[in-house]
Structure 1
Amino acid sequence: MTELSTVPEASEAASRYAWGEAFQLFAAADAVQPLGPDELDQMAECAWWIGKMRHCMALRERAYETHLKLGNPRRAAHVAIDLAQHYGDLGERGTATAWLQNATRLLDGQPESAEHGWLSFARSIAARDDGDLDAAVKHAAQAEALGSRHGDKDLFALGHAFQGIALVYTDDPEQGLPMVEEATEGAVAGDLGARATGMIYCMMIAVNAQVADWQAAGRWTEAATRWCDRQAINGFPGVCRVHRAEILRLRGFLAEAQEEALTATTELGSFNLMFSALAFRELGEVRLKMGEIDAAEEAFRQAEEMGVTPQPGRARALVQRGRPGAAATALRRVLGSKGMGALERAKLLPTQLEVALMLDDLPTARMAATELAEIAVNHRTPALRAIADAGEAAVQLAQGDLAEAERAARNAHKLFTEIDLTYEAARVASLLGRIHEAAGDLDRARAQHEAALTTYARIGAVVDAAAERAVLATPGPA
């Protein structure tokens, strides 16, 4: 096959998302005669979709150099922006910043173009990563405006969606969520390119997980997975698997959650460092519930080494090791860090509350419950309401207000059951058992503990099942 015939066939294969086939065709052509910069960039895109990140970056660096030699500063800048994103995904922030500086220098003094918008979008992502959400919103708005002016649908949609993401993280979901949903409509309709579509699917899943809307997150995760399967994509599904593993864990499918998280760590190891770290943290959470504490702690260690906090899982591991004091100290330290949004805090506060009650630290438990209640009021999803009610029930039990404790626990159990969070519903059943024990109603207490045990045994939550068996083996009130 000659080079002249191979390049058009490679481009055609890429246009129908046959990424692996296109990559091989481009490679065959490149072996005969070095590809031009645009073809190198196309080949790099194919490498990205099949999970060959280092190949992708090497090809884009060749395209960048060739564009410079041919006097195409705008095209070179666009490639530099892509390289900044790739290096950022791999955690090489210094190199990513250098590529953004290259793009800025090349576009300085050039007439306004879509490339300026893509630079704004990259700056928005960098600002979000640095915790400057106001700057992230500003740069994303600039990207959206430039996408509109220059007819770049992908840039317009991504800028609009990322504004929404940043607004949700600044605790303004009422404005932010609809923006992400609007951008998602274009992705679902097939109006956008492959990478923009994949990124917006990922944003939609992440934003729903962030606000604890697990039903919506689950629906979008499955939709994104089906889309990935249709495109024969190897690297990108790992991102979806992290979210799917979390949802499976919460719904009580622990074995399936472990398989998804483990697969994601493999798929993402050379593709996206942050999501790989999140996959290890999720793997630790699942293993902890399955009673594999050594393996869980190893997964948490790997997550932390890759730049993601291992909490609250590591704190629960310390509790299992009989060190609740160390767990309380670790949680207090991470919750005391600056810049943590309310929704991130909501993931840590239930464990802080639980550990505080173990240590008879009622003031800390009360503060955690109060903050959870405030977050639930501001964000209004069933899961956050249920989490807040469960925390309130535990604190009221400790304070001796059994009627209020039962009311809050029953509401939490109802909500968790309705949204199919099986594991959390079982935990509240166990809490109801303790409330009935305190009231002296041992028959109702036993019924709740047996219900919790049945669920734990069915889903493989070994540690929780053992705790319930110990309670049921104890005569009289626990």
Structure 2
Amino acid sequence: MVEPSTLRDARDAASRYAWKEAFDLFASADAVAPLEPEHLDEMAECAWWIGKMHHCMALRERAYREYLKKDDPRHAAGVAIDLAQHHGDLGDQGDAAAWLQNATRLLEPEPEGAEHGWLHLARALMAHAEGEDDAVVEHAELASEIGGRHGDKDLFALGHAFHGISLVANGADADRGLAMVEEATEGAVSGELGARATGMIYCMMISVNAQLADWQGAGHWTEAATRWCDRQAINGFPGICRVHRAEILRLRGFLIDAEEEARAATVELGSFNLMFSALAFRELGEVRLKMGDLDAAEEAFRQASEMGVTPHPGLAQAMVQRGHPEQAATGLRRILASNGLGPLERAKMLPTQLEVALSLDDLDTARAAADELAAIAGQHPTPAMRAMADVGAAAVLLVEGRLEEAAIAADRAHSLFAGIDLTYEAARASELLGRIHHAQGNLAGARVEEADALVAYEQIGAVVDAERARALLATQA
């Protein structure tokens, strides 16, 4: 049977990743005669890429029903797996589990095929959302093995990459995990993989670099992913990339640009991926906090929390600015007591816990936080992680009166942060070094460091930090 010309044009546009054009052509063809299930699934994929998630899900439900009518359990199961992922992205874990049950029931009597591997990958994603690390590794490994046996490059690469990212996240074997994600990324960069697998693996590569505080690597892959998205008409993945880009821009001191990226991400991801939308709100809160807009920062943190993502450490910093350090300390202590928090996630919380503890004269907690940061930096010695550990050590050493050691650690931290263009963090290290010099009686050296920090804060637009540095300089005039 010869396909109608509109349908041929739609499939051609989809093959060129002209998703909006393809979606409109599929819709025109469907208005003339109901599409076959495979074409409904293709149209759903186009809807997914242009951010029409609910259209995508409705089309896939139609495809699922039509495949069942045709007694085609394999393809029906494949659609059910996609629907499970979509519901999971929107935070509907109950519906996601139900669709996975449907897929499992359909595939159980069937001989092994690639669909069984995709089912394992979906189970790995669900286990990840539930914090079940062992199940993540088990299902991701099975997914890549089945993908290899059945020649499904996308499945093999995604299973391999997700296995790797899980090893990094749970601290089991970060070096091996990073190497696995890098191996999968080679296929994405070379064009060997399909569009969705390519986009997902770019996200995994950015995420694993960010987890390891390798901000140079994260920046490189964020720009690569953004260029890839820009070559196609995609509305979903740019939002995810924007979250990472906003974080990098904030750390490098481009606060206005970071706010624009984070705000755009909250809009693009609102009906596409609940978790990343929540992360976008948290990042928006972090940026606004640095810019001195405390009310707006707290509102963003509230939205992130309501969507299921911890608003700390930013919310704890906001509590301190409101004059409630005890509440901040309690919130951080509760988060850090969680068994589900891996070492790399703990490293994001510990600097704030240390700072809050010192403000409350709780030297034991501050020292424990500094020691844990040092241990994590020993396991993951990226420049940023080592610098974070040095800042923590310097702050504790200052309170302990071990000023020469404190100065060495703070100076080393400044050099490391400056070397990777983390302007804001470098300014914080300069400010700390100024306080250390002041304690040493080196007032000229203290003024130099504090003035440098003030200039950086003013250039960045870090209002609260600039006010603090300006007040400190005024007392020493």
Gaps of 5+ in 2: none
Deviation of the 1:93 alpha carbon:
0.4
8 Å CA contact 1:436–1:445 kept in 2: the answer is yes
Give the aligned partner of residue 4 of structure 2. 4
Read off the aligned partner of 1:16 and give its amino acid letter: R
1:52 maps to: 52
Counterpart-to-counterpart distance in 2, 1:142 and 1:230: 33
Aligned to 1:186: 187
Q: Provide the C-alpha distance between the structure 2 equivalents of 1:32 and 1:3, rounded to a whole number of angstroms.
A: 13
AA in 1 matched with 2:248: I
User: Is 1:205 the counterpart of 2:210 in the alignment?
Assistant: no
**In the TM superposition, what are the counterparts of 1:76-475 in structure 2 within 5 Å?**
76-171=76-171, 172-475=173-476
Letter of the 2:454 counterpart: L
Distance 1:306 1:24 in 2: 32
Map Cα deviations across residues 148-198 of structure 1 (whole Å, 9 max, x no partner).
Answer: 111101001101111101111121211100000000000000000000000
Partner AA of 2:201 in structure 1: I
CA–CA distance in structure 1, aligned partners of residues 441 and 375 of structure 2: 32
Q: Write the deviation string for residues 340-375 of structure 1: whole angstroms up to 9, x where unpaired.
A: 100000000000000000011000000000000000
CA-to-aligned-CA distance 1:303-362 (integer Å, 9 cap, x gap):
000000000000000010011111111111111111210000000000000000001100
Cα shift at 1:132: 1.0
In 1, Cα distance between equivalents of 2:328 and 2:156:
45
8 Å CA contact retained: 1:389, 1:409: yes
**What amino acid is the match of 1:410?**
D
Task: Write the letter of the residue equivalent to 2:82.
Answer: D
Q: By how many angstroms is 1:246 displaced?
A: 0.1
- TM-score under structure 1 length normalisation: 0.99
Question: Which amino acid is 1:236 matched to?
Answer: F
Contact 1:3 1:29 in 2 (8 A): no
Deviates further, 279-288 or 317-326: 317-326
Q: Distance in 2 between matches of 1:33 and 1:220?
A: 43
Q: CA deviation at 1:234?
A: 1.1
Task: Tell me the secondary structure at the aligned position of residue 473 of structure 1.
Answer: helix
Query: What is the root-mean-square deviation of aligned Cα atoms in Å?
Result: 0.9
- Listed one character per residue, the Cα deviations across residues 233-272 of structure 1 (whole Å, up to 9, x for unaligned) are 1111100000000000000000000000000000000000
CA distance in 1, matches of 2:299, 2:317: 14
CA deviations 1:119-147 (Å, max 9, x no partner) are 00001111111111111111111011110
Q: How many residues align?
A: 475
Judge conservation of contact 1:316–1:327 (CA < 8 Å) in 2: yes
1:367 and 1:322 map into 2 onto residues whose CA distance is 24
Give SS of 1:377's match: helix
Aligned residue for 1:116, secondary structure, equals helix
CA contact (8 A) 1:3 1:33 kept: no
One-letter code aligned to 1:273: L
**SS in structure 1 at match of 2:475:** coil
Question: Which residue of structure 1 lines up, in the alignment, with residue 14 of structure 2?
Answer: 14
One-letter code of the match for 1:161?
A
CA distance in 1, matches of 2:353, 2:170: 23
Q: How far did 1:475 drift? A: 3.2
Tell whether the 8 Å contact from 1:385 to 1:412 is kept in structure 2 after alignment.
yes
Tell me the distance in 1 between the aligned counterparts of 2:288 and 2:372.
29
Q: Establish whether residue 63 from structure 1 lines up as the match of residue 59 from structure 2.
A: no
Q: Distance in 1 between matches of 2:146 and 2:6?
A: 35
Q: Distance in 1 between matches of 2:385 and 2:287?
A: 21
Offset at residue 3 of structure 1 (A) = 7.6
Displacement after TM superposition at 1:109 (Å): 1.2
How far apart in 1 are the matches of 2:476 and 2:470?
Answer: 12
| Structure 1 stretches of 4+ moved >2 Å | none
String of CA shifts for 1:410-444, please: whole Å, max 9, x gaps.
11011000011000000010000100111111111
Separation in structure 1 between the aligned mates of residue 138 and residue 345 of structure 2, nearest angstrom: 22
CA contact (8 A) 1:3 1:32 kept: no
Deviation at 1:4? 1.0
**Which consecutive residues of structure 1, in runs of 5 or more, have no partner in the other structure?**
none
Please give the alpha-carbon distance, in whole angstroms, between the structure 2 residues aligned to 1:56 and 1:406: 57
TM-score, structure 2 length as denominator?
Answer: 0.99
Q: Deviations over 1:18-40 (max 9, x none)?
A: 00000000000001111000000
Report how far residue 105 of structure 1 moved.
0.3
- The CA deviation string for residues 80-121 of structure 1, in whole angstroms up to 9 with x for no partner, is 000000000000000000000000000011011000000000
Counterpart residue identity of residue 165, structure 2: I
**SS state of the match for residue 340, structure 1?**
coil
